[in-house]
Amino acid sequence: MPGNFAELIVGLLLLIWGADRLVYGAAATARNLGVAPLLIGLTIVAFATSAPEVLISIIAAIRGETDLAVGTAIGSNIANIGLVLGSVALIRPIEMTSATLRREMPALLAVTLLTVALFLDSYLSRVDGLVLLTGLFIVMIWLTRLGFRSSASDPITAEYEAEIPHHVSTRVAIFWLVIGLAALLVGAELLVDAAIEIAHALGVTELVIGIILVALATSLPELAVSMVSALKGEYGLALGTIVGSNIFNLLAVIGIAAVIEPAKLHPSVLSLHIFVLVAFTLVLFAMTYDYDGKGRISRLEGAALLIAFLAYDAYVIAQNV
């Protein structure tokens, strides 16, 4: 068991570092190709942020552990809202000032409800996977059009402009993109190995390990990015990172796993986990909805999100360990 946890930590460190290098390289390459910063943020950065979960999904599905991929996607989305946004809002309330993000929020809700609809028969088929990947393609096109249509005065545009690397040659950018991807592949392999062994040692399902352990590990980069962004006053970037990551987690992570290895869903997915995800998503939508011209997540709401996340994880651990 100590060896498994050491392997898990090494895999996690490689995932965090690899994701950072992948985002850096991909964003710099796109800028050099003349892609607008807002478009880079909405598509390339959002997808690259979900790269650890995607690679874990591919490796887990190839090994026949679809439950690990599903647990990682669901758990990561819950952690992104409850742990990441809750912690960030507790330190500094998150202002919803971006019109672009207001348009993204209904998309996240729609993607979440689509996932629930596909889960209702308790089986994740290749057709379900293709539906989700088709949804990913549609969302990418929609985000691209949204990026072109969004106003240059939208606060999130300046935030992406400030964060996307400047003055990086294409050769250097591609180098870091490749290195980041390689680190992600090795890190994902180590993390999946460790997660499966830990699950067997503890006598729990891969689903639970995915929801609790792997999801928490893969949410740490989002926590770091969102904390730094919020402290800089870049509220749109902090919230946009989470919204984009959650959309791609459901469509890409679960979609790819289903296409590679269709599987029957664990009963607890429908009886508990997916409904907790829907609840967190609905609460986030309600908190950020512009009822009075001041969409925001206050410190009190952040504390409520964090407490709800900790209570959920504690309940899952108590029921399974």
pLDDT of residue 187: 87
pTM of the model: 0.89
Phi, psi at 165, each rounded to 5°? -55, 140
Phi, psi dihedral angles at 94 (to 5 degrees) = -95, 120
Q: Is the C-alpha dihedral spanning 267, 272, 277, 279 positive or negative?
A: positive
CA distances from 122 to 140, 223, 265, 276 (A): 28, 32, 5, 17
Q: For the chain, report the end-to-end CA distance as a whole number of angstroms.
A: 15
Reading the block at residue 56, the tokens are: 């874990």
Residue 136 contacts residue 251 (beta carbons within 8 Å): yes
pLDDT at 75: 92
Return the pLDDT at 251: 94
- The pLDDT, as a whole number, for residue 298 is 86
* DSSP assignment letter at 92: S
pLDDT of residue 154: 65
Which pLDDT score is estimated for 291?
Answer: 59
For residue 312, give the nearest of 83, 5, 57 by alpha carbon.
Answer: 83
Q: What is the pLDDT of residue 279?
A: 95
2-320 folds as A middle domain of Talin 1 (1.20.1420)
Give the per-residue pLDDT at 83.
92
Cα separation, 22 vs 281, in Å, equals 27
Going from the C-alpha of 82 to that of each of 88, 219, 263, 287, the distances in angstroms are 10, 11, 28, 13
pLDDT of residue 152: 63
Residues 6+ apart with CB under 8 A from 213: 8, 195, 198
Q: Render each residue's pLDDT in the chain as its tens digit; 321 residues.
A: 677 888 888 988 888 888 888 888 888 888 888 877 777 777 777 777 788 888 888 898 998 888 989 999 999 999 999 999 998 888 888 877 677 777 888 899 999 999 999 999 999 999 999 999 999 999 988 888 877 776 666 667 776 777 777 788 889 989 998 998 898 889 888 888 888 888 888 888 888 988 988 888 888 777 877 777 777 777 667 787 888 889 999 999 999 999 999 999 999 999 999 999 999 999 988 888 765 556 678 889 999 999 999 999 999 988 886
Residue 65 CA: distances (Å) to CA of 57, 242, 254, 258: 9, 26, 12, 11
Q: Are 40 and 27 in contact (CB under 8 A)?
A: yes
Beta bridge partners of 94: 297
